[in-house]
Structure 1
Amino acid sequence: MIVAGFGFRAQANVHSLCSAYQLAREGMPPITHVATLAEKAHLLAELSNLLGLPLIAVPQERLAQARTLTASAASRAARGVDSVAEASALAALGADTAVLLARRHISRDRMATCAIASGVHS
């Protein structure tokens, strides 16, 4: 599986999410799933439907298990993880076995981030 993980502000729209996705997926293998924090999954549903990709809702407690490559002070303050996008991609697959293929990319409007991970869903 190849998962695009997302982190985003409440004000993000589908254009924000799409912008981050397009930047992150460049040069990557085909994406098979999208993922984000469970409590925000409903906000990613529109993009999931547009892309025709299944959506994985990741519980908050699983995000903390993922070791991210980048760090955001805003993400740390809001969610207790250094990158929600990276942690979502990794945790959706199982943080112990997943590999980050692309660090988080920030949408042009700076409202969303997307990172890509590979692995076998656990």
Structure 2
Amino acid sequence: MKVAGFGFKRDVTLASLREALLAAGGPEGLVAMATVSDKADAEALKLLARECGVPIKAVSSDVLAGILTPTRSKLITEKFGTGSVAEAAALAAAGPGARLISTRVVSQDRTATAAIAEGDGA
């Protein structure tokens, strides 16, 4: 199963999330989108999930903190205990043994990141 993970600022737009998703590989074959729990109800993310016809999986910050990611942001590491919310959320939601098929990409306005993982499901 393919899952797109997202990290984003609170004021993110649908356009920025869509841009990041397209840069990461697009919505084809996705079964879900994922992000940190406290942002899973963001309106722009809900709109993108609806547009792509997939559910949103909320991943707790405790789970994200235990996931090693190939890319690292100092700010995100300090705040969440993982290098990339997008990568960690995608890996967690894709299930045990998941692997990234697209590392995080950042929207041009720097308000959204997306990564895609593939796994056996949770």
Give the TM-score normalised by structure 2: 0.91
Task: Quote the Cα distance in structure 1 between the aligned partners of 2:114 and 2:62.
Answer: 20
Q: Which amino acid aligns with 2:120?
A: V
SS of structure 1 residue aligned to 2:68: coil
SS in structure 1 at match of 2:41: helix
Gapped runs of 5+ residues in structure 1? Answer: none
Runs of 4+ in 1 over 4 A off after TM superposition: none
Aligned length: 120
**Which TM-score applies when normalising by structure 1?**
0.91
Partner amino acid for 1:34? M
Tell me the distance in 2 between the aligned counterparts of 1:75 and 1:57. 17
After superposition, where does 1:13-52 map in structure 2 within 5 Å?
13-25=13-25, 30-43=29-42, 44-52=45-53
Deviations 1:12-66 (A, max 9, x none): 111111110010015x862221110111001121211111111111111111222
Gaps of 5+ in 2: none
**Identity over aligned pairs, percent:** 41
8 Å Cα contact 2:66-2:82 kept in structure 1: no
- Find the aligned partners of 2:81 and 2:63 in 1 and give their Cα distance: 11
- Give the distance between the partners of 2:77 and 2:68, measured in 1 at CA: 13
- The CA RMSD over aligned residues, in Å, is 1.5
